[in-house]
Every structure is written in structure tokens, then in C-alpha cells.
Amino acid sequence: MSTLMEDDIKRWTAKRKTALVLEIIQGKTTVAEASRAFDLQPSELEQWVEEGKRGMENALRTNPLDVRQQYEKKLSDLQEAYGEAML
């Protein structure tokens, strides 16, 4: 693990999450190793990685969506999925 990560982290700031997610994406550590080292649920780390990838994809778009557009799109997708599930 990186020396940027302290062993006793009380609060996971966006900066700390980003550093850990980058280490996972770059293959410097695995979700399982990070989970054990920082006493986090693997599912939580996997969610951070997925959110990071989505954010990265949006940031690299020619015309990135603003936060409101992202939430509106996600809400629309969820409403559509819910409607299909109800059928």
C-alpha cells in the first residue's frame, strides 16, 4: 500500500478514497488486500471503484454532464427499470 495511506484512518475523505481507488485500478493493491488493511467491506470498495470509473468516464467526455444531469439520468434509468420490473 502507498505511504499516503495512514494505518488509522477515522474519516474517508474524497482525497483518501481517490488515492485508494487509484491504487486498486493501477494494480498496486487488490480490493481484498485493501479491505483487510483498512477494515472496510469489499462491496464498499468495489462501489468506490465503480463510482470512480463512472466519474472518470464523464470527466473524459467532450461535453461532460454536470452533477444535476448525472443524477437526473440515473433517476430516469432507475424509474425505467422499476417500471419494467413492475410489468
Q: pLDDT tens across 16-67, in order?
A: 999 999 999 999 999 999 999 999 999 999 999 999 998 888 788 777 777 7
Residue 33 grid coordinates: 488486500
List b or e across 61-73, with b for residues whose CB sees 16 or more CB atoms inside 10 angstroms: eeeeeeeeeeeee
pTM here is 0.64
Q: Which amino acid is present at 29? A: T
